[in-house]
Amino acid sequence: MAKRGLLTRVVVATLIGLALALLLLRTTGSADRAVREILYILSRTRPSWVAWGALLFLVSQAARALRWKVVTFRRELRLGLLLPLTAVHIGLGHVLPVRLSDVAYVALARRLGSLPVGDGTASVALSKLLDLMAMGLVVAGAASLSIPGSFSYLAPLGVAVAGGLGIALLPSITARIR
């Protein structure tokens, strides 16, 4: 019964999100025109590219849900809850201004996953720090490509290995922080 109630709440939240998106589209332009343009672009795109894009998006969502699982403090949230929660968070991020989707994530994690507000806020803060670290890794990798010399190929490899180790060791690092 609890799963059915959770599914109902997720469906209702998704419908509310779609209604909000349509409302925001109507206030910034024509929702009908936007939908027609999207359908036109999709009709001119090879189906295999659309399928690859959808697959990569789903993999990205699963990776983000796993990231939320790692950065959540003191309480274990199920992946079955984090996948739809991540989908709602991503969708709201596209329609809400000024990172309000992060505030919505904390509220939804509190409501649906019984995650204390402080823990949810800490997980969002840690997630943003991880985003900055990932951007730093990309910048460091790009900058290391410009190192002259005979061992110039080792610098990007070192950055990639260090970044990979950081990702692999993240669960044990966050466990020690807890």
- Rounded to an integer, the average pLDDT of 118-132 is 87
Residue 178 has what pLDDT? 67
Residue 39 has what pLDDT? 87
- Rounded to an integer, the average pLDDT of 86-94 is 86
* Average confidence score pLDDT of the chain: 83
**Could you tell me the CA-to-CA distances from 45 to 38, 48, 50, 135 in Å, in that order?**
11, 8, 7, 30
pTM for the predicted model, two decimal places: 0.65
**Could you tell me the CA-to-CA distances from 17 to 14, 63, 74, 99, 101 in Å, in that order?**
5, 22, 29, 15, 11
Q: Is the pLDDT of residue 1 over 80?
A: no
Cα gap 158→145, rounded to integer Å: 11
Residue among 52, 30, 73, 22 nearest 177 (CA) = 73
Q: How confident is the model at residue 97 (pLDDT cuts 50, 70, 90)?
A: confident
- Rounded to an integer, the average pLDDT of 106-131 is 88
Residue 44 has what pLDDT? 92
Q: How confident is the model at residue 7 (pLDDT cuts 50, 70, 90)?
A: confident
Residue 28 has what pLDDT? 66
Q: Is the pLDDT of residue 140 over 80?
A: yes
Model confidence pLDDT, tens digit, residues 36-46 = 888 899 899 99
- Rounded to an integer, the average pLDDT of 46-63 is 92
